[in-house]
Structure 1
Amino acid sequence: MRHEWGTRMKRRRQRLIRRRVMIFVALLMVLLLGDGAYVAFGLKSSLETSKRSLSNGAVALGGGDLAIAEGELRKALRSAQESAGLARHPSVGALSLVPKIGDDVSTLQVLSAASELAARAGLQGLQAARAMGADQGRELIEAIYSEGRVNFDALHQGRPFVERAAGLLRQGSHSLDSAPEPTLTLLQDALETARDEVGGASESTSKGALLFDLLPKLLGADGKRKYLLAFQAPGEARGTGGLLGLFGVLHATDGRISLTGIQPGGDLFPAPLSPVRAPGWFERAYGTQKALTQFQQSNLSPRFPTVARVLLSMYTAQTGTKLDGVVAMDPIALAELLRATGPLPDINGEDVTSDNAATLVMHDSYVEFNEDEQNAYLADLIDALWSTIERGDLDGPQLATALGESVRSQHLKLWARDPDIQETIEEIGAHGWFPPSQGNVQMVFSNNYSVNKVDYYLQRDIDTKVELGQDGSADITTIVTIENQAPTGPPSLLLGPGIKSDPPGLNRMVLNILMPMGSLVRDFSLDGEPTVPIEYNEGAFPVAGYVIDIAAGGTATVKIHYSVPDAVNLSEQETFSFTLFPQATVNPDSFALSVTQAGVTDNAVEGDRNYSGALDQTRRIQVGLSSGEGD
């Protein structure tokens, strides 16, 4: 009896102790959670301060106000370190134990660490600016480029700091990309913004570090270099952008650039040449269209590195001179550069500005002038532009922005004969093509065969639907809607007729759709009528094309259905990527892209699956693959 009573009392004491312990733990958790909420608020405040100071510091750094830049960047670093310390607080660790909050806590910790890395990168940029001489009342770009010359010594002094900044930002970008997806909307937005901003800064700074290495080689640090300047007219579409109408030679010596010998293509190449050599696939695809004998057809291919080699071979065959590379630009790039140079006064009686340049060159000059007058007008304009650049009479920051935008939109392209220089050009994305590693690539491009400039009025809409199969294949349907907004007259260089039997405003084109490697065309139709396309290869990439006539004011719809047997390796890859590569057109294409995954009950892919916008730059999307284990 006593034994039983003693056992009951022991059990009662144990229950009492457990209850008290549980109450104590609950109270402790409440205190920790309350403290955690307070810490989280402080962490959020520190992150916001760090972000604001980083932005202020970047603006001051670009403007050459290094004292303010240093103050803001150090403030950003302190705030980032404070947020990192708060993220390690025990109460934050307690919050991570609460169901569904753990990923939010991890996101806060990653944001804090990335903020600190970004601040440290900014301070490296500050040291680069000082090393390059920007602490003497000059803007950073002016320390690099002034009075028409690139300062190679400044680039050499600043390069190590820029490379370290790029490394820190790459580290921050990688940590943000690897962060778990939070549940709170506020943190979702913050993470997405941080990924965009740090990722963009990482890409820009990495390219900047590459430019520090490229510019001395490109601009004659080790001897004079000469490049063919090729001016394209996108109103008469070609694969790389537009008909090559005007040429000159750019001379680069010790950081200075000058332009000589501006002339129409018909003067430089007065007659067809004997066929020049080119890769076998290029000869098979474009040789019968005179791309190896006539400069006007040399850029039917959209692959600029190959086109540049063909063009230089033509130049050497015609002149006996071997040049070091090709720079291709068009009126849209010219308009961007005018943001840096300011207006060009009195070109044929009118000032040419960044706002009116594209219209004057691509529309008005073809309506108001005959062919000789139009060539002379364009030659005067390009000569005035490059003379201004040669003098260095321009806004440095605007020049950097203009060059970057022109390269990104494919309206400015470079190719160099020197393999080391060309490798760096490719790394910064200025070579007018896409990396071979981006295997799932689609490109819609056209070549004008109506001998007019009516592509000034062309509008294209590209709608692509990708369905991923359970075996890693992709079933892809692309619909291209083409609208010719040209008027029916009066006849001119702009509207034609370029061919006497054609009506003004007619757009005759070969519309081409480049597909991922290994693609197989299943169906092809024009305006709902099945037809058989022309099929050929652009290197390793299959292409399907068709000749289309679209009258002024008319539309056409091309639909292609193709399959890619090995679009993704489901056993090794967690994401599927797809790249849309743009043609440099007068009016950027609009696009819509959707991705689904067959046979999966939770709607295929994780995250966003629908994309749309302007195809004014390369668009590469990545979607997470589903395991197929949804409800």
Structure 2
Amino acid sequence: MAGTLVALVVIACAVWLGVRAFLAQREITASEQVAKVVEAHIAAGQTSEARDSAKQLAVHVDAAQGFVSDPVWRAAGLLPFVGTNFSTVSQLAGILGEVTHGAVLPLSDAAGNISPSTIKPVQGAVDLQALSAARPAVVKADSVLQSAYSEVARLKSGFGTIPQVSGGVERFKSVLGKAAQQVSTADTVTRVLPSALGSSGPRTYLVLFQNNAELRATGGIPGAAAEVHIDNGHITLGRQTEAKGFPAFQQPVLPLADPAKGLYGPILGEYFQDVNLTPQFPLTARLASEMWKQRFGDHTDGVLSLDPVALSYLLQATGPVHLATGETLDSSNAVELLLSDAYSKYSSVQEKDDFFATAAAAVFSKVAMGSFQPRAMLDALTRAAAEHRLLAWSPNQSEQDAITAGNLSGSLPEQMPSHGVFGVYLNDATGAKMDYYLRESYKVGGVMCRADGRPNWRVEVTLTNAAPANAATSLPDYVTGGGVYGVPPGDVKTQVNVYAPPSAIYLGSLQNGEPVNVHRDMDSGYPVAQTAVVLSPGQSVTLTFQFLGGPGAQPKPDVISTPSVNNPTVSALSLSCQAVVR
């Protein structure tokens, strides 16, 4: 009889647990659907709708938590072998409840102040009060999400954990990590953006327009620049000028480190057009800011930079811009019109400069007036930042930290001891606008062959001159250079700079499979291999750079490169121990 009763109790508990697991799963499934609705309402800035859907989410989450937190469920968590499944589910439900009440509900209340439309100017001004009002909710949500992510990361699958539970933990951790990153970004934005937009006093920013048709390490020659004034959110365009309007300074405007001078020459600090021969945008920005000050006497509070490709992304959000010159600039023609067609249409340098200034002012006016779709604009800025086409620098350390966190700093590749990242940076040496026709592709790979745990790394850089065969005569001298700097018209001369991880040791280089000597140096702790190639129309060259990685580094490194007219292809390079230099 006693045995029968025990069996009945066990069966009853099993049924009880099974029913509650089913009900909890049903509530979790419902909460996933509602969570997507909440996210959409918050993104749209719909406070009332976001608040209502967040309350529905809380109902489902609370119900699920209740089903997996009763005494029978908690007791099941103590059972050997299978107990880990019950205890893990209870912990996950508890964390989900913390996130819902501590992060989602507060953010839904502030939806109108944290959506992309918050930073959309209205009649030339950004509402800084909305950003400030959103901050308390964002700070609370950031703290809750960071704590929740840490809790989930500490959960370990014990012996007996079924795949459904362990998979659920990993999925939850992934979603939570993404949410934590997004809210962390919002925390940074609400903390530094108001002051950056003039809440505590007027700001003046220098904007560099990089021209990828004449490559520089960070993108292209800064052929034009402008001041943007911001006072308590009100945005106005100030002085505009071309790079040729700057004098050749007799010496670098700021002290340059010996490696920088050795790699790029003192011209780095003497010519406005050459401030970004270095791939370190913070140095570029300081040099440009100082040149601006010496030329015009104006102090700047930071430097921004973008190229025509980034501009084409912005035009996807603004729609077409009609220019006073008669052209219509849109996302499909911006790159070709600004970097190629304009050179054929306008014969004089002044006409070209006037056209670029007109285009920049027209796009600025549309953005400053808020004539764009907020979500599309956010996507455009995110893409431009990811491709390093949108860069920023601030002398204010707090703001610079935010810039770095937003992947906008343009610094040398961030490294981890176990994972190397190469930087491949290109500078035009033709003295013209032929890089519109340059095509690049990269391969990077490695292999572990040594007993000391140091991998062999290899980077391959393939460059092609895709200009027409008759480029010397069919293209204007302004584009080919006309041979002024010793490069035959139609040819492209390119300086290639490969920055290896600081722990790497240089082994050797090849050009089309044959050994080649390169200039070697150190720049800010990074080993650098530098060379230059000249390509006639239709010609290609492959440069190979070989390095020994640091102890314990992974055999597969990554690579970032100069943003060019065309996004270059990057592929994995397969290596064998027989093919590497020991």
Find out whether 1:492 has 2:471 as its counterpart: no
For 1:163, what is the secondary structure of its paired residue? helix
Cα distance per residue 1:370-402 (max 9 Å; x no partner): 333322211101011112233333333333333
CA distance in 1, matches of 2:250, 2:13: 82
User: Which residue identity lines up with residue 298 of structure 2 in the other structure?
Assistant: T
Q: Check whether the contact 1:147–1:393 (CA below 8 A) recurs between aligned residues.
A: no
CA distance in 1, matches of 2:155, 2:555: 19
The runs of 5 or more residues in structure 1 that have no matched partner are: 1-16, 569-574, 599-631
Cα distance per residue 1:41-89 (max 9 Å; x no partner): 4444333322221111111122233232122222223323333444556
Q: Check whether the contact 2:76–2:83 (CA below 8 A) recurs between aligned residues.
A: no
CA shift in 2, pair 1:68/1:127, >3 Å: closer
Measured after TM superposition, the shift of residue 235 of structure 1 is 2.5
Match in the other structure for 1:587:
566
Measured after TM superposition, the shift of residue 483 of structure 1 is 3.8
Match in the other structure for 2:425:
445
CA shift in 2, pair 1:546/1:224, >3 Å: same
Percentage of pairs with the same residue: 24
Q: 1:511 aligns with which of 490, 496, 514?
A: 496
Find out whether 1:312 has 2:289 as its counterpart: yes
**Pairs within 5 Å for 1:235-254:** 235-254=213-232
Q: Check whether the contact 1:459–1:484 (CA below 8 A) recurs between aligned residues.
A: no
Q: Check whether the contact 1:113–1:172 (CA below 8 A) recurs between aligned residues.
A: no
CA shift in 2, pair 1:56/1:96, >3 Å: farther
User: Which residue identity lines up with residue 511 of structure 2 in the other structure?
Assistant: L
CA distance in 1, matches of 2:403, 2:479: 37
**Pairs within 5 Å for 1:474-485:** 474-485=455-466
Match in the other structure for 2:150:
174
Q: 1:467 aligns with which of 448, 452, 455?
A: 448
CA shift in 2, pair 1:555/1:41, >3 Å: farther
Measured after TM superposition, the shift of residue 347 of structure 1 is 4.8
Q: Check whether the contact 1:491–1:497 (CA below 8 A) recurs between aligned residues.
A: no
CA distance in 2, matches of 1:331, 1:445: 18
CA shift in 2, pair 1:140/1:545, >3 Å: closer
CA shift in 2, pair 1:562/1:141, >3 Å: same
Q: Check whether the contact 2:487–2:493 (CA below 8 A) recurs between aligned residues.
A: no
Measured after TM superposition, the shift of residue 462 of structure 1 is 2.4
**Pairs within 5 Å for 1:177-326:** 177-180=153-156, 193-267=171-245, 269-281=246-258, 283-288=260-265, 290-326=267-303
Q: Check whether the contact 2:392–2:409 (CA below 8 A) recurs between aligned residues.
A: yes
Cα distance per residue 1:273-325 (max 9 Å; x no partner): 43222341454344526212112221011111111111222222323333222
Match in the other structure for 1:334:
311
Find out whether 1:539 has 2:524 as its counterpart: yes
Match in the other structure for 1:125:
107
CA shift in 2, pair 1:499/1:351, >3 Å: same
Cα distance per residue 1:327-359 (max 9 Å; x no partner): 111112222222333321245322212232223
Compare relative contact order (CA 8 Å, sep 6+) and give the higher one, 1 or 2: 2
Match in the other structure for 1:75:
56
Q: Check whether the contact 1:33–1:94 (CA below 8 A) recurs between aligned residues.
A: no
Cα distance per residue 1:519-569 (max 9 Å; x no partner): 21112211111222211222111111221223333332222221233455x
CA distance in 1, matches of 2:29, 2:344: 55
CA shift in 2, pair 1:55/1:328, >3 Å: same
Measured after TM superposition, the shift of residue 95 of structure 1 is 8.5
Relative to the length of structure 2, the TM-score reads: 0.85
CA distance in 2, matches of 1:468, 1:37: 53
RMSD across aligned positions (CA): 3.6
**Bigger shift: residues 212-221 or 459-468:** 459-468
**Bigger shift: residues 219-228 or 430-439:** 430-439
Q: Check whether the contact 2:205–2:229 (CA below 8 A) recurs between aligned residues.
A: yes
CA shift in 2, pair 1:509/1:143, >3 Å: closer
Measured after TM superposition, the shift of residue 233 of structure 1 is 1.0
User: Which residue identity lines up with residue 553 of structure 1 in the other structure?
Assistant: G
Match in the other structure for 2:580:
none
CA distance in 1, matches of 2:345, 2:146: 52
Cα distance per residue 1:596-629 (max 9 Å; x no partner): 999xxxxxxxxxxxxxxxxxxxxxxxxxxxxxxx
For 1:291, what is the secondary structure of its paired residue? helix
**Pairs within 5 Å for 1:529-608:** 529-567=514-552, 580-592=559-571
Match in the other structure for 2:340:
363
The runs of 5 or more residues in structure 2 that have no matched partner are: 578-582
Relative to the length of structure 1, the TM-score reads: 0.79
For 2:135, what is the secondary structure of its paired residue? helix
CA shift in 2, pair 1:286/1:562, >3 Å: closer
**Bigger shift: residues 213-222 or 341-350:** 341-350
CA shift in 2, pair 1:318/1:216, >3 Å: same
CA shift in 2, pair 1:71/1:222, >3 Å: closer
Q: Check whether the contact 2:447–2:555 (CA below 8 A) recurs between aligned residues.
A: no
User: Which residue identity lines up with residue 521 of structure 1 in the other structure?
Assistant: Y
Number of equivalent positions: 565
For 2:268, what is the secondary structure of its paired residue? coil
User: Which residue identity lines up with residue 353 of structure 2 in the other structure?
Assistant: N
